[in-house]
Amino acid sequence: MPGRGGYSQGIRLLELAVVVILAGLLATAGIQRIMLLQREARVLMVENFAQSLKLAGRMVYLQSSAVGKLGERRYRLTAYGLGEGSEIEVQYGYPAITSTDNILRLFDDLSGRWHLNIDGEWLQACVDSRPDCLVRYQPPEQPGGQPRLEQRLEGC
C-alpha cells in the first residue's frame, strides 16, 4: 500500500544494498581480526614452548651436575620436578632426543596442537602441523657444550 508521496512503506532496494554491504565489511574485518589473533596465539605457543624447553633443560642440567654425570655422552636420569620421577635420557647434561617421548616426559600435559618429530640431530616441535611455526632443539654434541634452540615464526 503506498504511503505519502506514492512510496511504499517497505525497505527500498538501495537501503537493503547498503545494509548488505555494511554487514559484509564488518564480517570481513571480524574475520581478519580473528585470523590475526590465531597467528598471535601460535607465536606465543612457540615462544612459551621454547622457554619451557630451555628451563626444563636447565633443571636436567642441574640434576645431572648434582650426580656428577655432565661429561657422559648418554645416560638415564631420574628427573625430579619434571614429570615426577620420570627417567629421562640425557646427553652431556641436557635432555637427549632419543625419542619424542623422552622430550614429552619433560612436560605435564602438552597440548594436542603440538606435533613432535626427530629430524636427524634435531627435535622439531610444530604447532598445528605448520612447518614454519616451530621450535627446534639439539642437545650438546660434546662435554661442556650448550644445547641449540631455534624458533621459526614465519609460518605461524
Q: How many C-beta neighbours within 10 Å does residue 118 have?
A: 15
Q: C-alpha grid cell for residue 132?
A: 614454519
Which among 50, 100, 102 is positioned nearest to 79, based on CA atoms? 102
pLDDT score for 84: 56
pLDDT score for 97: 94
In the chain, alpha helices (H): 13-66, 100-104
Give, for all 156 residues of the chain, the pLDDT tens digit: 455 556 666 677 777 777 888 878 777 777 777 778 889 999 999 999 999 999 999 999 999 999 999 888 999 998 776 655 578 999 999 999 999 999 988 887 888 999 999 998 999 999 999 999 999 999 999 999 999 999 999 999
Q: What is the pTM assigned to this prediction?
A: 0.77
pLDDT score for 58: 93
Domain residue limits, the chain = 44-152
pLDDT score for 20: 82
